[in-house]
Amino acid sequence: MSESTEKSLVLVKPDGYRRGLSGEVLRRIEAKGYVPVALAVVTPTHEQLAEHYAEHEGKPFYEPLIEFMSSGPVTAIVIQGERCIEGFRALAGATDPTAALPGTIRGDLGRDWGLKVQQNIVHGSDSPESAAREIGIWFPNL
Ligand code: RTP
Ligand code: MG
């Protein structure tokens, strides 16, 4: 695989990890043809999450989001493949798991639990700049 092939940062969020869906997410990533090149189970610190979600600071869902994301382990995965940033976002589906289309990770496996924040199983980087920044947060030695 060429060195220049795109990379993206995927997180199986605490809801997905708790429900034992890390394998299912990885299965879909590999079935699509993307390659996991780094993988770790980590309990996020507040510092990591403040960096990761800096763009959302001040929004109404920010505090509940940090609380939710620090509630347990996540599976962090660096994936690689042509256009995998856009491709994984398509696999994940819409942010709101109720509205996410069936066939997507969030559409097939997620739902609204009536909580303060959308628990939607996965995160995926949204641009090459975000991917580089986020990979640095979760895999500082990569
Ligand atoms: P992500 O960053 O996790 O891949 O998700 P996304 O791009 O689809 O959504 P984004 O707008 O970046 O929001 C980040 C995460 O914050 C939670 N959220 N809750 N109104 C709400 O309750 C709300 N809005 C956003 C979700 O967990 C979302 O994935
Ligand atoms: Mg986002």
Task: Show the beta-strand stretches assigned E in the chain.
Answer: 7-12, 35-42, 74-80, 122-124
ipTM score of the complex?
Answer: 0.93
pLDDT in tens, 55-104: 999 999 999 999 999 999 999 999 999 999 999 999 999 999 999 999 99
Query: What pLDDT is stored for residue 1 in this prediction?
Result: 55
Which of these, 4, 18, 1, 32, lies nearest to 124 by C-alpha position?
32
Note if 123 is an active site residue: yes
Model confidence pLDDT, tens digit, residues 95-129:
999 999 999 999 999 999 999 999 999 999 999 99
Confidence check: pLDDT of 32 > 90: yes
The confidence score (pLDDT) of residue 103 equals: 98
- Nearest bound ligand to the CA of residue 64: 1
Average pLDDT over residues 50-54: 98
> Which sequence spans correspond to the domains of the chain?
7-138
Q: 7-138, what's its fold?
A: Alpha-Beta Plaits (3.30.70)
> Which of 11, 61, 89, 95 to mutate for ligand 1's pocket (most ligand atoms within 8 Å of CB)?
95
Q: Is the CB of 124 under 6 A from ligand 1?
A: yes
- Residues whose CB is less than 8 angstroms from the CB of residue 22 and which lie 6 or more positions away in sequence, other chains included: 12, 16, 41, 75
* The overall pTM is greater than 0.90: yes
* pLDDT exceeds 60 at position 136: yes
Does ligand 1 have an atom closer than 6 angstroms to the CB of 11? Answer: no
Give yes or no for residue 20 having a pLDDT over 90: yes
Ligand 1 within 6 A of CB of 130: no
